């Protein structure tokens, strides 16, 4: 039997998406043969929030959902992706398989939607393919920073291959080019790829049905509305972006206005209860905060910032818009609005979180940059020379920044079976228990799926919780010198167990070890790291 022609180039392309996605996810997180977690150093910080959230569903009982690093109030973080990972682990799938399979699927979904949207709008597979390449290998001028410390020489290829640090990591390293352009955001924020892919799917479907409105029946319309409606619990920011896109497409596609209105109303009916459950943020930033990370905000600084962050693409993008037709240009409007919204408003305590708007804007811009490259490649040799010379700065930073992920060493974390404290907690405490934790990051109680009183404050603060007030409560608690007052606090905060470690794992916390030994009943002692667990219910009768 002849199989010639059976494997089409597109099938190979989709397979490459799967392989690349799987490589990214498995390279940064896995469980070794000894049962311990191995976490890449560049995702370790974010995973200190990710693992407790997953474990709160797999080993804990986080229903109704709370944020596991800030026990008590309803969860304000989009949790569905991690809950699904948790339930897969709960039914027997190992945590790395559960997380990496869903993450790989999500990233493959994103790459596929980039390709399909570029192919559909511009009727050219090459535009879709180039858009994928430009997405993976970002076009910022971050490579300028790399060459400041690694001057161009015969050793440059070897230096890139062995590179361990991102070319630029603004604003955290003081450089102008953002930390959020590399693939690092998708290995850290495992739920983001699915959210972006779903946004592109929305744009793809609306565009496709705008060409043939009769096929957009009520069932398809309601299904899309329901899908969008569940997004506040999947990714709240992208839900907002979808709403912006729907409003835009309501204006530019008159023949689909009834469909889009039904989609929007259906989505809102489903979304509003989710939003009401999460509640408003305890920490509220100034809503109107123009300029993003451009400080001080001047026209010169604004242009400089975005020139370095968008690179040569900022110049090529207008050309792509000029040579595209009116129908194709319409699609850019929702992406452009992401850029304008991200530069105008602040939706969370950390302004850097607005990067989600700009990543999506850049993703949309790549279609038009790709159109220019593909169009010029079809011209004479001089145009081809321009494409080659432009392609280098459009991808060089991304090439440099992929190797810190490839070369990233792993940190080993003893999981529950190999962690005596976590093992005790899992076996001997209620799944609903709340722990006053002795460590901010990957506390034994968090690994065992129990909610903690105050994990690393950044995570809860960025989700809108008032970590300052809780930290002050915690410090006040440790100044108490009588058992009655201590028990009153613990009962009021619904804390079931206290972890006390010597030295205490949280900086600058003055702990009276003698007071706890004298007044509280210890149910577990880890002699190796001098950690004790005290039972509040038994001690405060």
> How confident is the model over 184-198, as pLDDT tens digits?
999 999 999 999 999
Sign of the C-alpha dihedral computed for residues 261, 266, 267 and 273 taken in this order:
positive
Query: In whole angstroms, what is the distance from residue 199 CA to residue 206 CA?
Result: 11
Give the relative orientation of helices 95-122 and 80-90 as an angle to the nearest 10 degrees: 140
The pLDDT assigned to 508 comes to: 82
> How confident is the model over 496-526, as pLDDT tens digits?
999 999 988 888 889 999 999 999 999 999 9
Mean pLDDT for the chain? 97
Query: In whole angstroms, what is the distance from residue 474 CA to residue 437 CA?
Result: 10
The pLDDT assigned to 1 comes to: 39
Query: In whole angstroms, what is the distance from residue 530 CA to residue 541 CA?
Result: 26
Order of all β-strands in the sheet with 410-413: 29-31, 37-40, 410-413
The pLDDT assigned to 7 comes to: 56
Query: In whole angstroms, what is the distance from residue 24 CA to residue 103 CA?
Result: 9
Which of helix, strand or coil describes residue 231? helix
> How confident is the model over 330-354, as pLDDT tens digits?
999 999 999 999 999 999 999 999 9
> How confident is the model over 391-428, as pLDDT tens digits?
999 999 999 999 999 999 999 999 999 999 999 999 99
> Strands, E, within 277-413: which ranges?
410-413
Whether the bond into 518 is cis, omega within 30 of 0? no
Query: In whole angstroms, what is the distance from residue 134 CA to residue 111 CA?
Result: 11
Q: What is the mean pLDDT of residues 521-536?
A: 97
| One-letter-per-residue 3-state SS of 108-172 | HHHHHHHHHHHHHHHCCHHHHHHHHHHHHCCCCCHHHHHHHHCCCCCCHHHHHHCCCCCCCCECC
Given phi > 0 = left and psi -120 to 50 = alpha, else beta, which region is 92?
Answer: left
Are 370 and 118 a contacting pair, CB within 8 Å?
Answer: yes
Query: In whole angstroms, what is the distance from residue 36 CA to residue 392 CA?
Result: 41
The pLDDT assigned to 442 comes to: 96
Pairing mode, if any, of strands 434-436 and 497-501?
A: parallel
Q: Over 60: is that where the pLDDT of 2 sits?
A: no
- 0.85 surpassed by pTM: yes
Strand-pair partners of 410? 40
Strand-pair partners of 434? 451
Query: In whole angstroms, what is the distance from residue 193 CA to residue 106 CA?
Result: 5
In this prediction, residue 6 has a pLDDT band, given cuts at 50, 70 and 90, of: very low
Are 140 and 397 a contacting pair, CB within 8 Å?
Answer: yes
User: Torsions phi, psi of 428, nearest 5?
Assistant: -120, 5
- The token pair at 23 is 């490589």
Are 13 and 115 a contacting pair, CB within 8 Å?
Answer: yes
Query: In whole angstroms, what is the distance from residue 240 CA to residue 356 CA?
Result: 11
Q: Cα(first)–Cα(last) distance of the chain, in Å?
A: 79
> How confident is the model over 475-496, as pLDDT tens digits?
999 999 999 999 999 999 999 9
Query: In whole angstroms, what is the distance from residue 121 CA to residue 263 CA?
Result: 22
Q: What is the mean pLDDT of residues 430-435?
A: 98
CA dihedral 98, 101, 102, 103 (to 10 degrees): 110
């Amino acid at each position: 039997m002849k199989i010639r022609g059976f494997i089409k180039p597109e099938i190979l392309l989709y397979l490459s998406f799967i392989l690349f996605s799987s490589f990214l996810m498995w390279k940064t997180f896995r469980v070794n043969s000894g049962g311990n977690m191995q976490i890449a150093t560049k995702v370790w910080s974010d995973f200190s929030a990710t693992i407790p959230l997953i474990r709160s569903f797999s080993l804990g009982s986080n229903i109704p959902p709370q944020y596991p690093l800030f026990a008590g109030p309803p969860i304000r973080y989009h949790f569905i992706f991690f809950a699904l990972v948790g339930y897969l682990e709960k039914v027997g799938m190992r945590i790395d398989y559960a997380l990496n399979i869903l993450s790989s699927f999500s990233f493959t979904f994103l790459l596929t939607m980039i390709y399909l949207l570029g192919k559909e709008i511009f009727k050219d597979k090459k535009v879709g393919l180039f858009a994928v390449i430009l997405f993976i290998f970002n076009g910022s001028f971050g490579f300028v920073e790399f060459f400041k410390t690694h001057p161009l020489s015969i050793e440059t290829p070897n230096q890139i291959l062995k590179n361990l640090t991102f070319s630029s990591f603004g604003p955290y390293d003081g450089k102008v080019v953002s930390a959020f352009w590399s693939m690092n955001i998708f290995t850290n924020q495992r739920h983001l790829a699915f959210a972006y892919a779903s946004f592109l799917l929305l744009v793809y479907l609306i565009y496709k049905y705008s060409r043939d409105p009769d096929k957009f029946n009520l069932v398809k319309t309601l299904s899309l509305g329901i899908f969008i409606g569940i997004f506040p619990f999947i990714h709240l920011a992208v839900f907002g972006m979808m709403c912006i896109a729907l409003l835009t497409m309501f204006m530019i596609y008159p023949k689909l206005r009834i469909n889009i209105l039904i989609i929007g109303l259906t989505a809102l009916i489903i979304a509003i209860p989710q939003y009401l459950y999460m509640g408003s943020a305890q920490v509220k930033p100034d809503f109107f905060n123009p300029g993003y990370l451009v400080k001080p905000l001047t026209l010169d600084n604004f242009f400089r910032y975005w020139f370095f962050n968008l690179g040569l693409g900022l110049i090529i993008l207008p050309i792509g818009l000029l040579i595209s037709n009116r129908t194709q240009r319409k699609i850019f409007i929702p992406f452009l609005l992401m850029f304008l919204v991200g530069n105008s408003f602040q939706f969370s305590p950390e302004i850097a979180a607005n990067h989600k708007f700009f990543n999506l804007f850049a993703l949309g811009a790549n279609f038009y940059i790709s159109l220019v490259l593909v169009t010029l490649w079809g011209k004479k040799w001089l145009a081809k020379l321009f494409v080659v010379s432009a392609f280098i700065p459009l991808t060089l930073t991304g090439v440099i920044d992929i190797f810190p992920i490839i070369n990233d060493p792993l940190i080993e974390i003893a999981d529950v079976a190999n962690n005596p404290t976590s093992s005790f907690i899992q076996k001997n405490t209620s799944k609903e228990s709340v722990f006053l934790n002795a460590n901010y990051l990957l506390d034994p109680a968090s690994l065992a799926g129990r909610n903690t009183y105050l994990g690393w404050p950044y995570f809860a603060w960025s989700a809108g919780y008032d970590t300052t007030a809780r930290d002050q409560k915690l410090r006040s608690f440790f100044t108490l010198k009588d058992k009655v007052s201590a028990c009153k606090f613990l009962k009021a905060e619904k804390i079931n167990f206290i972890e006390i470690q010597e030295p205490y794992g949280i900086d600058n916390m003055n702990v009276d070890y003698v007071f706890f030994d004298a007044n509280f009943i210890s149910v577990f002692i880890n002699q190796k790291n001098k950690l004790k667990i005290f039972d509040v219910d038994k001690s405060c009768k």
